């Protein structure tokens, strides 16, 4: 199964490399970044041992499409996508928080709620809610950006400001952009018969001091979607929601005794399961974008990326 799980390029004018859980970012001269979406699969802030075919292409192409569909309301870092797995954009200084926004009591919020907690990141959750119920208003529940594979952690607005992680003036902009993006994402999803349940956004600041959207947006790795058709009926019957996200991977891991906790072993993902995950990501792409997925050539992914980026930089 041909995947790309690690890169080691030397592009012209290259100054730095940063390797995240899924993306690898090459810093070049002229304040330009080359971001490569690998096929690595991360869950519970842990990178799985094997890659998923086409996953990087899917994430990169969804993020590109969604940035294009939101650039009229929030500026972003993107300049070009010279390869299915690659985005090129402006160098930014990332804010050290992820702006998570939740429209429904799902995922992490639901687990907190079941544990008896009624505050998440300082935001109140009403009594008497069921898992997957809609919140009266979307909740912004930020998290710290983890370094070197550590777990992201919930943090309140007050803690962010008191610790000086983000200035109040900048944080007001981040909140405004987060709400605007979530509203637009909700509208885009509705056109495709989906509900945008929750998502996260990352922002950075250009050297000119402009706050822009960076990284991915509205992908199945960063977002959770429900099918709109039958949502209320399933809630009324206390049935699980049909969803589009990588939650299916998390649930499989939980069922196999893994939640990223110390001492737990990552369960073996055989070829059949990996193929099923790849197929599920392709389904996610087509549902989220409303377009047929076109598979990129996997014969020599590393050479393909190198040639495409080289040609773009030379042009």
Say how far apart CA 119 and CA 220 lie, in whole Å: 26
pLDDT band at 220 (very low <50, low <70, confident <90, very high): confident
pLDDT of 179 over the 90 cut: yes
What is the rounded CA–CA span in Å between residue 143 and residue 151? 10
Q: Has residue 148 got a pLDDT over 70? A: no
Inform me whether the pLDDT recorded for 244 exceeds 90. no
Range from 144-148, 166-170, 202-206 carrying the lowest mean pLDDT: 144-148
Q: At 109, is the secondary structure helix, strand, or coil?
A: helix
pLDDT exceeds cutoff 80 at 146 = no
For residue 1, the model assigns a pLDDT of 64
Query: Which domains occur in the chain, in start order?
Result: 14-92+268-314 (3.30.200.20), 94-248 (3.30.470.20)
Q: What is the mean pLDDT of the chain?
A: 93
CA atoms within a 13 Å half-sphere pointing along the CA-CB vector of 70: 31
Give me the pLDDT at residue 150, please. 53
Which pair of tokens denotes residue 52?
């998923």
Name residues whose C-beta falls within 8 Å of residue 260's C-beta, 6 or more positions apart in sequence.
43, 44, 45, 46, 151
Instruction: Say yes or no to pLDDT of 20 above 90.
Output: no
- β 211-214/223-227 pair status: unpaired
CA distance 127 to 107: 17
CA 145 to chain centre: 13
Rounding to the nearest 10 degrees, give the CA dihedral for residues 285, 49, 242, 115. -140
- pTM surpassing 0.75? yes
pLDDT, tens digit, 9 for 90 and up, residues 221-230: 889 999 999 9
Give the mean pLDDT of 109-132.
96
pLDDT at position 145 is 74
| Beta-bridge partner residues of 211 | 205
Task: Tokens for 19, please give them.
Answer: 């390797």
At residue 243, the pLDDT reads: 82
């Amino acid at each position: 199964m041909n995947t790309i799980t690690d890169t080691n390029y030397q592009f012209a004018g290259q100054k730095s490399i940063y390797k995240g859980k899924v993306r690898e970012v090459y810093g070049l001269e002229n304040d330009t970044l080359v971001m490569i979406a690998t096929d690595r699969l991360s869950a519970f802030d842990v990178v799985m041992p094997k890659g998923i075919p086409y996953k990087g292409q899917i994430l990169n192409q969804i993020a590109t499409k969604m940035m294009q569909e939101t650039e009229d309301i929030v500026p972003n870092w993107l300049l070009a996508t010279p390869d299915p797995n690659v985005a090129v954009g402006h160098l930014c200084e990332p804010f050290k928080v992820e702006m998570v926004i939740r429209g429904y009591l799902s995922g992490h919020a639901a687990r907190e709620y079941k544990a008896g907690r009624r505050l998440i990141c300082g935001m109140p959750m009403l009594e008497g809610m069921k898992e997957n119920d809609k919140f009266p208003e979307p909740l912004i529940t930020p998290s710290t950006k983890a370094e070197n594979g550590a777990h992201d952690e919930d943090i309140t607005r007050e803690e962010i400001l008191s610790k000086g992680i983000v200035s109040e003036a900048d944080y007001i902009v981040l909140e405004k952009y987060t709400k605007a993006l979530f509203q637009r994402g909700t509208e885009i999803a509705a056109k495709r018969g989906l509900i945008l349940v929750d998502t996260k956004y990352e922002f950075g600041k250009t050297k000119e001091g402009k706050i822009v959207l960076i990284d991915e947006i509205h992908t199945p790795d960063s977002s959770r979607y429900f099918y709109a058709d039958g949502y209320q009926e399933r809630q009324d019957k206390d049935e699980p929601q049909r969803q589009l996200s990588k939650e299916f991977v998390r649930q499989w891991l939980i069922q196999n005794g893994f939640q990223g906790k110390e001492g737990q072993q990552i369960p073996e993902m055989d070829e059949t399961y990996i193929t099923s995950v790849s197929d599920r990501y392709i389904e996610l792409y087509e549902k989220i974008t409303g377009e047929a997925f076109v598979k990129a050539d996997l014969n020599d992914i590393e050479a393909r990326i190198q040639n495409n980026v080289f040609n773009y930089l030379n042009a």
